[in-house]
A and B are shown apart, each in its own frame.
Chain A
Amino acid sequence: AQTVTQSQPEMSVQEAETVTLSCTYDTSENNYYLFWYKQPPSRQMILVIRQEAYKQQNATENRFSVNFQKAAKSFSLKISDSQLGDTAMYFCAFMKHTGNQFYFGTGTSLTVIP
């Protein structure tokens, strides 16, 4: 079975600063996909960024980037120039290459302080 661990239940960051959210996972698979989803107070789940395990280059989407360490099974999310709209719950998720099921972490609640 796959497990995803987010060890930081809550974090805060000053507006315009940088923050990194941690995620580790456990799998025996070699090919898989990793995702970060954002859930603002509206409750809607929004995809932030995705990473294919076979790609060595870390994914980047504007102010969001990941640090993917395959050997360490680590997938952290870096948010640069934090904005008030980044305040949300962030979930890390794992999907096997051979299946469609997602495995989610328990989430990190991020608060951006003005």
Chain B
Amino acid sequence: NAGVTQTPKFQVLKTGQSMTLQCAQDMNHEYMSWYRQDPGMGLRLIHYSVGAGITDQGEVPNGYNVSRSTTEDFPLRLLSAAPSQTSVYFCASSYGLAGAQSSYEQYFGPGTRLTVT
């Protein structure tokens, strides 16, 4: 049981480049989400998914796309990287409302540090 995995751990992009941050979980969680963490701002929700084929926007969705074709995977795409997207990105998953009452907490991946120059 690997939990939530993210690749890559570090990435440097030039302005205008595109890339995909990978996220996978092996806990059969329905709910998955992407956050970005910036100094002094905590974690802010980018996009989330309540199940395969269903995604929705969070607080800061601009410049990012997501899809959820399987329960396990939830990739985050940067369409045209900008310096403002320099951040640490976390993927998280949980059973959500479909799970047991004691299982609402989110499990986080190790994060991806992205730098856009």
Which residues of A are in contact with B by a Cβ distance under 8 Å?
4, 9, 33, 35, 37, 42-45, 47, 50, 91, 95, 98-102, 104-107
Q: B104 near A44 (CB under 8 angstroms)?
A: no
List residues of chain B with CB within 8 A of the CB of A47.
105, 107
Interface of A is mostly: loop
26 contacts between A and B (CB under 8 A): A4-B42, A9-B40, A33-B104, A35-B105, A37-B108, A43-B88, A43-B110, A44-B111, A45-B92, A47-B107, A50-B105, A95-B104, A98-B97, A100-B31, A100-B48, A100-B94, A100-B96, A101-B33, A101-B48, A102-B43, A104-B42, A104-B43, A104-B44, A105-B42, A106-B40, A106-B41
Complex CA gap A98/B50 in Å reads 13
Q: B110 near A44 (CB under 8 angstroms)?
A: yes
Complex CA gap A9/B41 in Å reads 11
Known pairs A43-B88, A95-B104; A102 contacts B45 (CB<8 A): yes
